[in-house]
Amino acid sequence: MDRSFCIAPMMARTDKHFRYLVRQLTKKAVLFTEMIHTNSILFGNRNKLDDYFQIENPIVLQLGGNDPESLSKVCQMAENYNYDEINLNLGCPSPKVKSGNFGAALMNHPEIVKRCLVAMKENSSKTISVKIRLGINDNDIDESLDDFIYQLSETGIKVFYVHARKAILDKLSPKDNREIPPLNYARVKKLKKDFPNLEIIINGGIIDYFNQKKEFSELDGIMIGREAYSYPRKLKNIDSNFYGIADANRSLSDITKNMFDYFETLDNQNDIKKGLIHMHGLYNGLKNAKKIRILLSNSCYFKPAKNEIIDLINDNFKNVA
Sites of contact with ligand FMN (CB under 6 A): 8-11, 13, 34-35, 62, 89, 91-92, 131, 163, 178, 203-206, 224-227
Q: Which is nearer to ligand FMN, 172 or 310 (CB)?
A: 172
Q: Which is nearer to ligand FMN, 63 or 252 (CB)?
A: 63
Q: Which is nearer to ligand FMN, 121 or 163 (CB)?
A: 163
Q: Which residue is nearest to ligand FMN (CB)?
A: 225
Q: Which is nearer to ligand FMN, 95 or 304 (CB)?
A: 95
232, amino acid identity? P
Q: Which is nearer to ligand FMN, 235 or 305 (CB)?
A: 235
The 10 Å Cβ neighbour count of residue 62 is: 24
Q: Which distant-in-sequence residues (6+ apart) come within 8 Å of 53 by Cβ? A: 16, 19, 20
Q: Smallest gap, in angstroms, from Cβ of residue 180 to ligand FMN?
A: 12
CB contact at 8 A, 136 and 162: no
Residue 73, SS3 per DSSP = helix
- Is 92 designated active site? yes
Q: Smallest gap, in angstroms, from Cβ of residue 181 to ligand FMN?
A: 11
Output helix, strand, coil percentages for the chain, rounded to the nearest 5. Answer: 50, 15, 40
CA dihedral 15, 28, 123, 108 (to 10 degrees): -70
- Sign of torsion, CA 260 266 270 275? negative
**Phi, psi values for residue 244, rounded to 5°:** 65, 25
Q: Smallest gap, in angstroms, from Cβ of residue 172 to ligand FMN?
A: 14
Q: What CA–CA distances, in Å, run from 179 to 27, 163, 234?
A: 30, 11, 22
Q: Which distant-in-sequence residues (6+ apart) come within 8 Å of 277 by Cβ? A: 296, 297
Distance separating alpha carbons of residues 18 and 81, to the nearest angstrom: 19
Q: Which is nearer to ligand FMN, 56 or 227 (CB)?
A: 227
> Cα 13 vs. chain centroid, distance in angstroms?
9
> Cα 282 vs. chain centroid, distance in angstroms?
17
CB contact at 8 A, 107 and 139: yes
Closest CA to 130 of 179, 214, 195: 195
The residue from 6, 75, 92, 116 that is catalytic is 92
Q: Smallest gap, in angstroms, from Cβ of residue 206 to ligand FMN?
A: 6
- Catalytically annotated residues: 92
